[in-house]
Structure 1
């Protein structure tokens, strides 16, 4: 082995050749390259050479095509497969176009014929190969950096063809939408949208302007859960002039839910203030009416007068009872007495309170609990009332002898989910938006306080409630309680 070390940082070169004379000739050409410092080493054994190529100790490799039983092409293929990143130049005694093409396709940086070697040709080959290797290393470093960002992003990042078919998507999509990565491939990105109108807007905006920013859209997961998301996408062009679409999907469900909860809480608070004010203003004159009736009663002798007096008394009492009910509904969240209890037990108590209604209407009840007890800090009586309101609404929404009420509890990493699912008449989109508003009701004799009270109770427990409904198919209430630490 011959080594040449000159002043400065040398370029490390390994020549792999089973002919020592050829090694000396090639190394002499390299040594005569002016203004360059080189360290040139020799390897004549296939296994030794493979170890040195895969260790990445050298800046560039010259590999002879013939290495005994195996060829330089075999070494080239094995080294690249094992992680060799430095440029490899294939040398041969006699060149053919077939070997040339195969060498370049296998990853060789260049292909040289030994009989045509000279100092000038080797200098140019080394210079071009090192420059190209430097560019490729920089590109790979950037690719690794952006691939890492792509994979670790909490937002969904996707790439699609110009026809909107997904060709690459990161792991965040599996967590958000519960599909496996393979299930996304060749699926149109707009096929995930829950609303046809959103699909049309997405199509038209990208086709017309090539860009769409912060577009709010509902996306349906594999389990049919609808997630509110923000999507941004743009049409780009690759090096071959082919158009493709890249985009980011941000899960907006939690923020949307928080906004909705805050709005509902504000509505309930405003309603409570209004109820208390009205109760005070109505009760004062109502008390005066009742006192006046008590004074009049001894002085009325004829039957007609007594009849009218009884009508006034009954209606005064009804007004008083309504005021009491309104005040109670606005006070349900006050004086909450929390204790550690099993949600299974609370659900059982609510079912027991409604079982007679189910029996009379011949409703089928299906209950599914996890083996582990779902312990949460709740006020048992108030949460039982909240559950009971939902169960009663479900019973009233279902047809006699055809209704099926499914009640289940699910455990996630952070919370317990209590689900009430019926196959009743469902709720229209318009009514769904107003479902928890106080005094809003679609029932003929309802006051619209049941679900408002339910929301009030759940918010006092820092629980959230989501409702999904399809007209004619049924309604599902999902209530989330935080897990105890």
Structure 2
């Protein structure tokens, strides 16, 4: 069988000459094994309405239709989204009309004088088959375009130097760059570490592809983004090579991993603190009892001096154990609704003397609208103050700039930034920054940031630190906001 469709093929012949309609209809109905329902329209407007309502499977359109031509109808139908095949008919062969018809989307171009059964059967068969193929292609294109446009991953095409050429909306959103800016950027320019650039270039040069490459990039706003990058080379017939790439943002996962590591460290510190308290406080109690006994016995001046030394040292050991336990144990938080701007301003006020003595410049960027948070105000001030004091001590007298900023986010959170332009923190120290008793200072117990972490975790807040030697450090604290000011 020529036509495998079980349902009849609905055909509309659009022609203002009734005799020509009967001739074309007769040829169509004479096709063996064909199943057709053929109807006639002689009015341009009525024909256009039938086309846009998709009433038929196939259209034969005469070139001459009064004031307008069949080409006009063909073009209007295509603009309206017509996917059904349309065959243009004309009284005489005309190469210009033939070319225009094909460019306008006609499935075929036939001269009425040459019409015969074989020619019209072939034209219908090819037009319907090509129409079916084009519909399938269009459906697939829409399906994959939807994936391309709606995925949260950045998907893009780039040249051999990874300059962006075609990209989806997520690419602009992640990189914080508009389309006009992206076409002038290379992905290499966004990579922070030079060794990552070298590794990527070597992979693409040697294998023409790379898969699941973890790389840190920086967007237009200066934010560091942890990503997984996959890319492979596509060769075209025109000898123009380009790369197809997918960029997946894993910053949230990395932050969660950091928070988990910090939580595990605090749990380990808690266990250590409890063990030390038990093992040290028992003999320490005996020392205190012995000292009390010696004080009652009386002693000369020299022995009294040694007694005082031992008493002070024993007291100092007890204080250190208490501090360690306070740092390790979960902080008791009393939640009340507070205005974040007030908490930040009062934290800075507590460090005002230190800031003025070092002749530092203070810059605060706080939103005018109140940001409401549920927090233990006094404890949160301690957390902020510990970071501020570290920032003050890291900066050079007279040249330091301390910056505090609050940025509300749409997901009912707010980011608090505390930034300095001090000496910075070595990368090998960052992983241990919140460990109790870890400090790079000559004088200090290393409990300030450990206490800060404990307080923030009690608020279900997260903290992230970025630092560059001789350039400065940025602490980013993410807090949850609340909608109303009711306690």
TM-score, normalisation: structure 2 = 0.90
Q: Deviations over 1:66-106 (max 9, x none)?
A: 33443322222221112111111122222233332232122
After TM superposition, the structure 1 stretch with the greater mean CA deviation from structure 2, 169-178 or 369-378, is: 169-178
| 1:203 aligns with one of 192, 195, 201 | 201
* Residue aligning to 2:73: 75
Cα distance change of structure 1 residues 267 and 107 upon mapping to structure 2, 3 Å threshold: same
* Residue aligning to 1:280: 278
Question: 1:405 touches 1:420 (CA, 8 Å); kept in 2?
Answer: yes
Question: 2:190 touches 2:219 (CA, 8 Å); kept in 1?
Answer: yes
After TM superposition, the structure 1 stretch with the greater mean CA deviation from structure 2, 79-88 or 206-215, is: 206-215
| 1:136 aligns with one of 112, 134, 137 | 134
Q: CA shift at 1:394, angstroms?
A: 0.9
Cα distance change of structure 1 residues 436 and 301 upon mapping to structure 2, 3 Å threshold: closer
Q: Deviations over 1:322-372 (max 9, x none)?
A: 2222222223x3322222222222222212211111121122222222233
| 1:448 aligns with one of 446, 449, 467 | 446
Is 1:104 the counterpart of 2:112? The answer is no
| 1:307 aligns with one of 305, 321, 329 | 305
SS at 1:14 equivalent: strand
Q: CA shift at 1:306, angstroms?
A: 3.5
* Residue aligning to 2:455: 457
Q: Partners of 1:369 and 1:105 in 2: how far apart?
A: 59
Alignment coverage as a number of residue pairs: 478
* Residue aligning to 1:374: 371
Equivalent residues in 2 for 1:243-322, closer than 5 Å = 243-297=241-295, 302-322=300-320
Question: 2:324 touches 2:436 (CA, 8 Å); kept in 1?
Answer: no
Q: Partners of 1:408 and 1:260 in 2: how far apart?
A: 23
Q: Partners of 1:380 and 1:298 in 2: how far apart?
A: 47
After TM superposition, the structure 1 stretch with the greater mean CA deviation from structure 2, 60-69 or 235-244, is: 235-244
Question: 1:425 touches 1:474 (CA, 8 Å); kept in 2?
Answer: yes
Q: Deviations over 1:404-452 (max 9, x none)?
A: 2121222112202222122222222222222112222111112211111
After TM superposition, the structure 1 stretch with the greater mean CA deviation from structure 2, 333-342 or 312-321, is: 312-321
Q: Partners of 1:104 and 1:443 in 2: how far apart?
A: 79
SS at 1:439 equivalent: coil
* Residue aligning to 1:3: none
SS at 2:189 equivalent: helix
SS at 1:218 equivalent: strand
Q: Partners of 2:159 and 2:11 in 1: how far apart?
A: 43
Cα distance change of structure 1 residues 368 and 434 upon mapping to structure 2, 3 Å threshold: same
Question: 2:364 touches 2:405 (CA, 8 Å); kept in 1?
Answer: yes
Equivalent residues in 2 for 1:111-150, closer than 5 Å = 111-150=109-148
* Residue aligning to 2:405: 408
* Residue aligning to 1:49: 47
* Residue aligning to 2:56: 58
After TM superposition, the structure 1 stretch with the greater mean CA deviation from structure 2, 200-209 or 146-155, is: 200-209
SS at 1:212 equivalent: strand
Q: Partners of 1:192 and 1:363 in 2: how far apart?
A: 33
| 1:357 aligns with one of 354, 361, 374 | 354
Cα distance change of structure 1 residues 163 and 125 upon mapping to structure 2, 3 Å threshold: farther
Q: CA shift at 1:243, angstroms?
A: 4.8
Question: 1:55 touches 1:84 (CA, 8 Å); kept in 2?
Answer: no
Q: Partners of 1:232 and 1:195 in 2: how far apart?
A: 17
Question: 1:228 touches 1:252 (CA, 8 Å); kept in 2?
Answer: yes
Q: Partners of 1:142 and 1:289 in 2: how far apart?
A: 83
Q: Partners of 1:302 and 1:366 in 2: how far apart?
A: 60
SS at 2:406 equivalent: strand
After TM superposition, the structure 1 stretch with the greater mean CA deviation from structure 2, 173-182 or 434-443, is: 173-182
Cα distance change of structure 1 residues 294 and 37 upon mapping to structure 2, 3 Å threshold: closer
Is 1:473 the counterpart of 2:471? The answer is yes
* Residue aligning to 2:338: 341
TM-score, normalisation: structure 1 = 0.91
Equivalent residues in 2 for 1:136-215, closer than 5 Å = 136-185=134-183, 187-215=185-213
Give unpaired runs (5+ residues) of structure 1. Answer: 1-6
Question: 1:383 touches 1:457 (CA, 8 Å); kept in 2?
Answer: yes
Question: 1:17 touches 1:64 (CA, 8 Å); kept in 2?
Answer: yes
Q: Partners of 1:94 and 1:193 in 2: how far apart?
A: 64
Is 1:86 the counterpart of 2:74? The answer is no
Q: CA shift at 1:142, angstroms?
A: 1.3
Q: CA shift at 1:317, angstroms?
A: 2.9
Q: CA shift at 1:64, angstroms?
A: 2.3
Question: 1:265 touches 1:456 (CA, 8 Å); kept in 2?
Answer: no
CA RMSD of aligned residues (A): 2.5
Q: CA shift at 1:32, angstroms?
A: 1.9
Question: 1:46 touches 1:75 (CA, 8 Å); kept in 2?
Answer: yes
* Residue aligning to 2:223: 225
SS at 1:61 equivalent: strand
Question: 1:228 touches 1:251 (CA, 8 Å); kept in 2?
Answer: yes
